[in-house]
Amino acid sequence: MQQHTKGAMIEMSDKFSLVETSQDPIISPSPRLPAEILSLILSRILPSSVKLWTTHLLRDFIHVLLSCCLVSKAWCGPAREMLYKSIRLSQLESLYLLLRTVRSESFGGHCPAFALHFRPSFPDFALIKDIRKFATLAGEIVVCCPKLLFLTGDCGLLDFTSTMSYPRYPFLTYLKVSEQNLKFLAPLLPHLCNLKSFEMLQSCGDSDMLNDCFEPPSFKLSKLSISRTKLSPGLCKWLFASSSESVESLKVEEVGSNLQHLIEVMGGSVRELHIKSMFHYETKSDPESIKVISGLAGLRRLRIDGWDFKTEHLLNLQSSLETFAFSPYVARVRELRTLLQSGWQPSLQSLDLHLGPFSSLESWGVLERASRQWQDELTQTCAARGIQLNEICPT
C-alpha cells in the first residue's frame, strides 16, 4: 500500500490503531490554528519515507497523537484523524474493539480511516465460527468508513450483504483481495463508482449466481491485476463490462486461456500488458490465447515473464510497441536478436531485460559465462536500430 500513498500514511498495529479517543478533551489554552495546519504539522513528525520508520518511532508518534487528542477540541479532531488514518487488522478481538470505538458517541458510527488492511492471523486450528465472525465484522467496519481511499482483504475474509447500508465511497480508488469468493464481495462493488485499481488473487465466482442476485459494478478501472483466478466469459463480463473502454494496464499471472475472456471484454483499451508465468503447458495447447494477444492493436508496452515463452508468438502482433520487456534466458536473447534484425516492431523505443533474483539472474550469468558474444551482439543490434537497452535488477 505504501506506494499508493502520499506523505506519511501510518501503518499501525492492532494495539495502536484501536486506542479509545472518545474522552472529553481537557479544556486548556492552545494555539488557534486551522485544522489543516495542525494536520500538516502532525504528518511531518514521522519521516516522509516509510522505509525509515521503526517500531520505537511509530510508538512515540502514537503517544504524541494521543496526547494531542487531550489538549483541546480543536486539536482532538486532526490528531484523531491522523491516528486512524490507516488501520491494519489481524486479530478478531481488534475488530470488536474498533467497532465499539467507532459506534461510541464520540465517533457517531463513522470511522475516519483512509485505508483498511485486513490480514487475519488465526491459530493452526482456528474455529470456523471465528473465521466467519472475522469476515462479518470486517464487512461492518468497511461500511463505517465512507472516507476510504484503499481497501485490502486477505484470505477471503471480506463478507458483505445486501441488507447493509453502504455509503457512496467517493474516494475509494484501490481494492485488493485474495482467496475471495466474489459472492461475498459483490454487494459492495456497485458502490465503488470511482474505483481505478483492482487486484484479485486466487479468487472465484459463479457468474450465473452473480448475474441473478447482484447488480454488476459500474466502476471504470484503469488498472487491473488478476492472478491464479479462473475467469469464465460470464464472470469477466459481469465484473469488467463497465470498464471495457477504460482499462489501460492489465497484469495477469497464471490465468492461461482465461486471458482470452479478459481481452474479449476490454482488449480495445489495453495499452500496457504484463503476462507472468503464462506460457506453460496449458497455453501450449491453447493457441487462441496467443491469437488474442496478437490482436491488441492499441498495445504500446508489453512484458512477458515465463520459462516457455517463444518469441515466434510475437510475429503477428498488430500493435506498434514502444517498450518490450522480458526475462533474459539464453535462447530467448538469441531469438529476440534475430527478430529485431528482421525489422520487427519498427516503432520500438526501449527493450527492458528484467533480471530476476534467482532464475533470471542465474540464466543471465550462464549467458555471460557461456559467451559474452550474444549480449554484445544484442547491444549492437539495439544500438543500430536506436533502441535503448535497459538491464533492470530487482529492488
Q: Give the cell for residue 191.
A: 458502490
Model confidence at 74, in pLDDT bands (50, 70, 90)? confident
Residue range 4-57, pLDDT digits in tens: 433 334 444 555 445 455 445 444 455 566 767 777 777 766 655 444 556 677
359 against 120, higher pLDDT: 120
Does position 337 have pLDDT exceeding 80, yes or no? yes
CA dist 361 and 198 (Å) reads 30
Q: What is the DSSP string of 262-313?
A: HHHHHTTT--EEEEES-SSHHHHT-HHHHHHHHT-TT--EEEEE-TT--GGG
The ranges assigned to domains in the chain are 336-395
272-276 β-sheet, strand order: 86-89, 115-118, 150-153, 174-178, 197-201, 223-227, 249-253, 272-276, 301-305, 323-326, 350-354, 388-392
CB 353 within 8 A of CB 326: yes
Query: CA 335, CA 368: separation in Å to the nearest integer?
Result: 17
Among 175-184, 285-294, 316-325, the range scoring the smallest mean pLDDT is 285-294
Percent of the chain with pLDDT over 70: 76
* Average pLDDT over all residues of the chain: 81
pTM over 0.85: no
**Other CB atoms within 10 Å distance of the CB of residue 248:** 17
| Joined grid coordinates for residue 302 | 508489453
